[in-house]
Structure 1
């Protein structure tokens, strides 16, 4: 084991970098299995839309082979538009017994009969898209793909009054690219500046804490702290900090990471009320875990004029390696208004920046500026998420929309909550579910755990004498269990983040047992020192 000095040298590391040191320690012995509960990569994934993707790829390859068939060098061409639907129907008849093919047939019907789009245009977009034989056109997102994903996003985000015509989407390389593009374009377009104040809904995904501190931005952070005693909701007094006119933007993750709790109706309404008083406030809501929640409602649907939405397909569909995300903005929004109101000198600078892509840069919306900025403007003509990725995104969206009984969602939630229950049972403390919790992660509070197991005096001793990083290293060293420090997510109490998505139930039982054993050892030390 390292000394206390060694633990403290890791104090400023991102939890995702600290994790690598913990993994090395956890893997240092061959007589046990390393249990990495530190990363949120799920060990479940959606198979039906993946089967459909690969079957559609085989159909598209057949289509490509129709062109240049006189050549023997495995050279294909662009799909023929004529009779494409007839050949697709024949492909379905020949392969209906295969997983995914029946779904493709039903998806075509759904797109035509429920969504009202031209099935031939949709099939052509999907066929060309999965072959990846053209640049993404439009570069922000393929036309019908954008419309279908819009419908999915509005459904999942709880939109009651918004329609596809009200929003724009930009398909990105996951939620991480979306974050990077938003930060960059807000700065490039004068919407955030060095020294500006931004509010962060804490606890929060670590990069939202780290990016503003970079010399690229040098923003002043104001934390809006959720209260664990309120089931991780924000006290009104915290939310009212947003009434400060010097705060330019409010960034949050909803449901939260790591508490995994969605904002309740009270909090949403308070923010909506604040926005009426602060119509200039920019909101960024990262709702990647919203699809795990029942009756989820995003701030984007309550305050669309002020809000940028980030959504990723990575966690719900088990698709972290696919890198699939979207940025959504309302067509009428405060961002474009603020750009139009910039001083003349700044508008002229931006006019010159975007003049190579449009003769009227002043009319270019921020979401389209993000597309250009994502490729250093000069490469705007080759911007956009790869078309095969967009096809998979569409199939994920259709799979969820067509699952009217919500069987996939119910199965995932049962899986995750069973894991949570198993871990806490072995740990020996109470963990109650609430209606706003999605339980993708859980925070094991060091003080609360100690208090529930052995009382107040022991809890106070643990907090005073034990370095939280020391606990994480000892857990990794002695039991092979890897957790992330809550401190790295702006959690105010010493804690460890446990992902409930990436291990199996018996392994979460083992984690609970290991944590309980460590607590018992500390209790013996506490008694010996009394």
Structure 2
């Protein structure tokens, strides 16, 4: 097949895809790839991992066995299949018997250790802990408190603290709201900021770009109509230049949105970037709202979140989806410290606005102004009127707690080491099979990698090729040619607001061997472009 045969760009009108999210464009690329019969599809477009944590899932199932036994005790004289709500009396002794009877079953020992850990490290009474877990698994009550079950929140707070604070002194002086994944956390937070006057139409929101596409799209929605100010990462180092940080001096910028480690670049803030940004906010923008999305932080070495560095200003969004292979569980949290800029800004609103908010939340309490910002997020998630039915499903909260305990009790960090190793080996394999030397970077995380086509082309073929590649607009049809010729699906960097022609490769969702193939096939397509270049200049 000749180069001309493989160049599908002549038959595709790219302009009609200009406004598509990269995740929607991916479906078009798959159509192109599948137009070739008997094609093996290598979809490295989406970041759903192909690895997952099994032990906390086994513990979930064993807890279910015990919970059902507890339920059946209540109405044992009735027909089989009928149970009641356990009262927790004697639950610890019965669990000890259950554990002995099921000795050797994976997951049972995990639960025993979890009960011990909760008592020793978190001060949670064993009976209270077990009873909360049993009833939550059975899901026989509404979530109470609706924001998050009391002891499950203690467990998850400890996990978030240990993962987000790095070597800094850890605090658990924050509240959590369990949500249906990180995406729900984002959605709820923007909505409540708008409902409470913390964001108004026409306000400026700063985004550290390139960034996860929804952060680019949400502010422009009709219900928000926010003006975006880009705080651009240096696309060589993927760190923040001081000149970009200083854009935040504009008092009209109300909110800063951060994804750290970055998506699509998959590089965390360096200590220097963190310190400079922290110093700037503390000295010049103490009133700034910050949302940090730290879903990839657990894959980084020595990760420290803005949630730890700037606790007063920062709301943390965390999702369990990637690290535990649990995108289908829809598990996320919103974290806000007890002393925070969100609550203080609400208290400082003009009286007329306060009266409007009193009216909005008056059905919840005689003193609506006492409702914290995070609890307003909970209420707004159910249109206030249905606040009494708010909250993440209780079995989901149980699995979230078990995931947290999986890491809290892993004193040697074996699970973390395995997660890091699997994606980092894939990174090396991909680049090695493209014929590109891997450069060391202590801040690189490797959940994704961004192939900057001009930089890559320069390393492989020289600067003259890069200039031709740009001037010929080859970057826009690279993904389609790659999909058509090889069946490899990647996402465009442009969709994440990357300036240079680039594509994002997820290193989480395929096998080691498949990343070998992607590396070779990507190099093959680049070689085709180079052959075109040589033919034109000959």
TM-score by structure 2 length? 0.96
1:496 to 495, 503, 521: 503
In 2, Cα distance between equivalents of 1:318 and 1:326: 16
1:83 to 90, 94, 97: 90
The equivalent residue for 1:147 is: 154
The equivalent residue for 1:126 is: 133
Output aligned runs, 1:463-478, within 5 Å.
463-478=470-485
1:267 to 257, 273, 276: 273
Asked if structure 2 preserves the Cα contact closer than 8 Å seen for 1:468 and 1:485, the reply is no
Q: Which moved more, 1:381-390 or 1:425-434?
A: 425-434
Determine if the alignment matches structure 1 residue 242 to structure 2 residue 225. Answer: no
In 2, Cα distance between equivalents of 1:172 and 1:266: 32
The equivalent residue for 2:366 is: 359
The equivalent residue for 1:29 is: 36
The equivalent residue for 1:163 is: 171
In 1, Cα distance between equivalents of 2:18 and 2:472: 16
Instruction: Write out per-residue CA displacement over residues 132-181 of structure 1, whole angstroms, 9 at most, x where no aligned residue.
Output: 111000000000011111111011001634432x2111000000000000
The equivalent residue for 1:205 is: 212
Instruction: State the secondary structure of the residue aligned to 1:201.
Output: strand
Q: CA deviation at 1:30?
A: 3.6
Instruction: Write out per-residue CA displacement over residues 348-381 of structure 1, whole angstroms, 9 at most, x where no aligned residue.
Output: 1100000001111111111000000000000000
The equivalent residue for 1:369 is: 376
Asked if structure 2 preserves the Cα contact closer than 8 Å seen for 1:472 and 1:485, the reply is yes
Instruction: State the secondary structure of the residue aligned to 1:138.
Output: coil
Output aligned runs, 1:82-481, within 5 Å.
82-158=89-165, 160-164=168-172, 166-230=173-237, 232-276=238-282, 277-481=284-488
Asked if structure 2 preserves the Cα contact closer than 8 Å seen for 1:4 and 1:470, the reply is no
Asked if structure 1 preserves the Cα contact closer than 8 Å seen for 2:469 and 2:475, the reply is no
Asked if structure 1 preserves the Cα contact closer than 8 Å seen for 2:177 and 2:333, the reply is yes
Instruction: Write out per-residue CA displacement over residues 292-320 of structure 1, whole angstroms, 9 at most, x where no aligned residue.
Output: 11111111111111110000111001110
The equivalent residue for 1:69 is: 76
In 1, Cα distance between equivalents of 2:258 and 2:458: 30
Asked if structure 1 preserves the Cα contact closer than 8 Å seen for 2:254 and 2:289, the reply is yes
5+ residue gaps, structure 1? none
In 2, Cα distance between equivalents of 1:119 and 1:243: 50
Asked if structure 1 preserves the Cα contact closer than 8 Å seen for 2:33 and 2:39, the reply is no
The equivalent residue for 1:517 is: 524
5+ residue gaps, structure 2? 1-7
Asked if structure 2 preserves the Cα contact closer than 8 Å seen for 1:40 and 1:501, the reply is yes
Q: CA deviation at 1:240?
A: 1.2
In 2, Cα distance between equivalents of 1:42 and 1:26: 22
Instruction: State the secondary structure of the residue aligned to 1:418.
Output: helix
TM-score by structure 1 length? 0.98
1:47 to 49, 54, 60: 54
In 2, Cα distance between equivalents of 1:374 and 1:82: 35
Instruction: Write out per-residue CA displacement over residues 100-150 of structure 1, whole angstroms, 9 at most, x where no aligned residue.
Output: 111111111111122221111000000000111110000000000111111
Instruction: State the secondary structure of the residue aligned to 2:207.
Output: strand
In 2, Cα distance between equivalents of 1:383 and 1:106: 31
Q: CA deviation at 1:470?
A: 1.2
Asked if structure 2 preserves the Cα contact closer than 8 Å seen for 1:475 and 1:515, the reply is yes
Instruction: State the secondary structure of the residue aligned to 2:329.
Output: coil
In 2, Cα distance between equivalents of 1:243 and 1:270: 13
Instruction: State the secondary structure of the residue aligned to 2:382.
Output: coil
Asked if structure 2 preserves the Cα contact closer than 8 Å seen for 1:288 and 1:312, the reply is yes
Asked if structure 1 preserves the Cα contact closer than 8 Å seen for 2:9 and 2:481, the reply is no
The equivalent residue for 2:5 is: none
Asked if structure 2 preserves the Cα contact closer than 8 Å seen for 1:262 and 1:437, the reply is yes
In 2, Cα distance between equivalents of 1:4 and 1:289: 38
Instruction: State the secondary structure of the residue aligned to 2:418.
Output: helix
In 1, Cα distance between equivalents of 2:491 and 2:249: 33
Q: Which runs of 4+ in 1 moved over 2 A?
A: 1-5, 27-32, 159-164, 466-469
Instruction: State the secondary structure of the residue aligned to 2:122.
Output: coil
Q: How many residues align?
A: 528
Instruction: State the secondary structure of the residue aligned to 1:3.
Output: helix
Instruction: State the secondary structure of the residue aligned to 2:130.
Output: helix
Instruction: Write out per-residue CA displacement over residues 249-282 of structure 1, whole angstroms, 9 at most, x where no aligned residue.
Output: 1001001101111101111111111212211111
In 2, Cα distance between equivalents of 1:14 and 1:431: 30
Instruction: Write out per-residue CA displacement over residues 222-271 of structure 1, whole angstroms, 9 at most, x where no aligned residue.
Output: 111111222x1111111111111111110010011011111011111111
Q: CA RMSD in A?
A: 1.2
